[in-house]
Every structure is written in C-alpha cells, then in structure tokens.
Chain A
C-alpha cells in the first residue's frame, strides 16, 4: 500500500471511530444536548498537518458520512458543506509559523479549533435556515454554537496532539520548494 493510500485508510478509520464515539458514547455526557464534534476535530487535525487541499476533501467526505449515517435526519450535504469549509479554513494556517518540525504552536491550534468549530456549526445552522429545516430560533442556535465551541476547545488537548502526530508520521515524503 502506498504511503498516500495508508494515510487515507488511517484517516478514514479515524473519522469512523470519531463518528461512533460522538454518536454512541458522548451523548451520555451531552451538555444541554450538545456533544463535542469529534469529526470536526479530526478534520481540523488533518488540515493542519496536510494542508488545505487535503483538509477540504477530507471535510467533504467526512461530512457526507455524517449526513448519511443514522441517526442523522437532515438534508444530505449540509455537514459536507460545513466541514469542507472547516477544512479550507484550517488549511489557511501557515506551517512556517511553527517550529522546525512544522508543528504549529499550541495556542494556534486551539484558536484554529475554536474558529473552525464556530464556522462549522454556524454554516450548518445557516444552511438549515436556508432549507427551512430547523425550527430553532436564533437565540437557541447561538447557544448551541457557543456550547459546541466550548466542548471542542475542551477536547482539543485530548484529541489533536496524537492525531496530528499520527498523521504527520504517515505523511508522504515531499520535497519542499
């Protein structure tokens, strides 16, 4: 299996595991119904390590999976759009701002996660408004976005470091220009 193929398989496995944990386990510790978005954290990790192009495609595929797997009930494509934008935004973080080995500093990672969580949940909610799907008002939507942001930031030190290290190890060797 090529290096790229191995990386793709591992990333797919990470997304599946994140989805299962998010849906089956974390709902027991949901705060006001909001669970941490582990799939979004995996997408952010992938985009931070491998760049925006990979992050976008990963976000799209993970979003389609989130839309299709039960107990999802919304229009397919909403999470796909939200997560591909998350991958794009996370990929804008420049790798040269990090240290020698290309690791961005911790505060940058946390800030990226916070921003991407906000972007992802907001795009999802706005697309719901556009499609006239959700009946929630703006106030409760903002509350959900805020709680999701807090959850994701709290789980960043637990999820991102080893995910990023794993993906960095699997990265295909490329010659930097």
Chain B
C-alpha cells in the first residue's frame, strides 16, 4: 500500500517539491512577457482600465458637443487663448515678414506700374458708363426695330458728318463691303429712316441722309394710304423737316399722321415699311395750287450714332447681323 500512498509531505516533500517546475500563473504585480515567463509589470505601462476610461471620456465629450453644453468651455478657452495667440502672432510677425524683405525694388516698381494701369482703366470705364448705357439703349432699339421691320440689319456706327459747305448731307458709317454693305441699301436707325448708301469701300460707306436737298423718298401716309414723295430740305435740325408731296393733291393729310416708306418690299434703294416722320403741318402754295405737307422726321439727324443697314437675309460679313427676329446671328 505504500506504493499507492500520496506523495510524502514534510521536509522530504518540500525538497522534492522544489525540484518540480512551478506553474506560471501571473498574479498581482507580475505579468507574462512575450517568451511566456514571468516578469514584473512595469508600473509605467498603460493600464487597460485607464485606456477604456479615457476612450469612453472622448466619446462622451463628442456626444456632449452635439448639445450646447460645452459652449462655455469653448468661450473660456477662447478668452484665455485668444489674447495669447494675438500676442504670439505680434511677436512673430517681424520674423514671418522676412520673406517680404527680399522683394526687389524692381519688383515693387513693377507692381506699382501694374496697379496704376489697372486704376486708369477702371477710371476710364467708370467715366464711360453713362455713354455705354446710351449705346446699349440704342442697340436695343435697333434690334427692336429690326424685329418690327422684319429685315436683316447690319449694325454700324456713324463716324463722320459731311460738312455743310458742300451742300450735301452725308455721313460716313463704319461698315463696308466686308460687312456686306453695298451701294443703294437702306439705312435705318431705331427711330426711323436715315438714308441710303451712296457708295461703299471695304470698311466704310457713305450714306446720303434723307434730309439732303437732293434726296427723294417714296412715302405713304399711314391712315389714308395716300402715296407721295418726301424731299429733304437740306437742314439737319428738327425745325427744317422734310417736305411731302402727295401724288393726289386734292387730299389733305391729317396732322400727326405717320409717313412710312413706300416700296415693293425689298426693292432698292428704300425698302418698304420704314417710318420716316410725322405730319406737322400743311401749307398751301397759292402760286401753283399745290399743297406741301411738312413732315418732321423721327430720327434726330444731329445725334446719329448706331444705325443699321438693311441687307438681304443670310448676309455674312465681318460682324454679326441682326436677324428679322431681332436676334444676333
């Protein structure tokens, strides 16, 4: 039975017990290292409980920040650190501005010249805005009249007036054969008829105004459809006006009637349907028993700026043409 008895205790047992390997059970301030043997825990290493607590605290702060709870904290931090940040910025500014010291004087002079040019350009644009606004209104009027008339127009500007000593009333426009303008084309403005093209060069054309003494325009009185011929009187002011000589002398037009051009549509030199002026008075000449009707033109010949030349549809030139629907094409 001694063989089955439990291992001997007592001093022999103790000495025998120390020979057996000790089971590695970490407890207390000891832990297992990578090789599996016991090693005292480093007190500086992070405790798991602290890690979890801090992560949870971060999550709590993130949740709290969705509400306005942390705003006082932010404002206090701002009150403390804002002046500190300004102070640090002020102290550091001489050092952070150092790259600016290396700007050469040539570069600075170049910058000044650029700024002066931009300034002058802006001032020029500012001065021209009133003028620009008027020009825009004239262009708008021209497109509207193109729409009303139903003709294709080439826009142009009046660049020169013929002098009165030559006894002809002509103007120069800045559209020529390059823009599709040729002789005997009608020239209109937003308000009404201006004249016809006498001759055209590549980039400009000469226009005979209807106020010229030698200009004759076929006209029709609006309300009665009576036809006649409108002669110019040679003067450009509104008082000079135009003279309408009706074919049927017995009919007297009513004051205020409109006179439009009379033609068979697209025939040169004057297309049909362009307003010329309105009747302001009827004068009877005793000498030859004919009536002269005074017509005041709609167009102010002293202030011509933007005009349009009626061209056949589909003309292509060096500029966009205003189509019969009023759109640029």
Residues of A within 8 A of B (CB): 16, 19-21, 23-25, 28-29, 50-57, 60, 63-65, 67-70, 75-78, 80-81, 84, 87-88, 91, 127, 131, 174, 177
CB neighbours of B51 from chain A (8 A): 56, 84, 88
Cβ of B32 < 8 Å from any Cβ of A? Answer: no
Contacting residue for B92 out of A24, A57, A65, A68, CB 8 A: A24
Inter-chain CA distance A174–B84, complex, in Å, is 37
Contact A70 B78 (CB under 8 A): yes
Contacting residue for B77 out of A70, A78, A131, CB 8 A: A70
Smallest distance from the beta carbon of A38 to chain B beta carbons, Å?
13
Known: A24-B88, A53-B50, A68-B77. Contact between A80 and B61, CB under 8 A? yes
Cβ of B85 < 8 Å from any Cβ of A? Answer: yes
Contact B58 A25 (CB under 8 A): no
Known: A20-B85, A25-B89, A51-B44. Contact between A76 and B61, CB under 8 A? yes
Smallest distance from the beta carbon of A49 to chain B beta carbons, Å?
9
Cβ of B96 < 8 Å from any Cβ of A? Answer: yes
Nearest residue, chain A, Cβ from B81: A69
Cβ of B82 < 8 Å from any Cβ of A? Answer: yes
Known: A77-B58, A131-B62. Contact between A56 and B50, CB under 8 A? yes
Cβ of B57 < 8 Å from any Cβ of A? Answer: yes
Query: How many A-B residue contacts, CB cutoff 8 Å?
Result: 104
Inter-chain CA distance A68–B62, complex, in Å, is 12
Smallest distance from the beta carbon of B38 to chain A beta carbons, Å?
12
Nearest residue, chain A, Cβ from B46: A52
Q: State the interface size on chain B (CB cutoff 8 A).
A: 34
Contact B44 A54 (CB under 8 A): yes
Smallest distance from the beta carbon of B62 to chain A beta carbons, Å?
4
Cβ of B45 < 8 Å from any Cβ of A? Answer: yes
CB neighbours of A67 from chain B (8 A): 61
Inter-chain CA distance A51–B70, complex, in Å, is 31
Contact A64 B61 (CB under 8 A): yes
CB neighbours of B78 from chain A (8 A): 69-70
CB neighbours of A25 from chain B (8 A): 88-89, 92, 96
Known: A68-B73, A174-B43. Contact between A80 and B58, CB under 8 A? yes
Which residues of chain B from 211 to 235 have any CB-CB distance to chain A below 8 Å in the complex? none
Known: A20-B84, A23-B85, A76-B61. Contact between A68 and B74, CB under 8 A? yes
Contact B42 A51 (CB under 8 A): yes
- Encode B84-95 as 1/0 by CB contact (under 8 A) with A: 111011001000
Smallest distance from the beta carbon of A84 to chain B beta carbons, Å?
5
Query: A51-B46, A77-B60 are known contacts; what are 16 more A-B pairs with Cβ within 8 Å?
Result: A20-B81, A20-B85, A21-B88, A24-B92, A28-B96, A51-B45, A52-B45, A53-B44, A53-B45, A68-B77, A70-B85, A76-B61, A76-B65, A77-B65, A81-B55, A127-B62
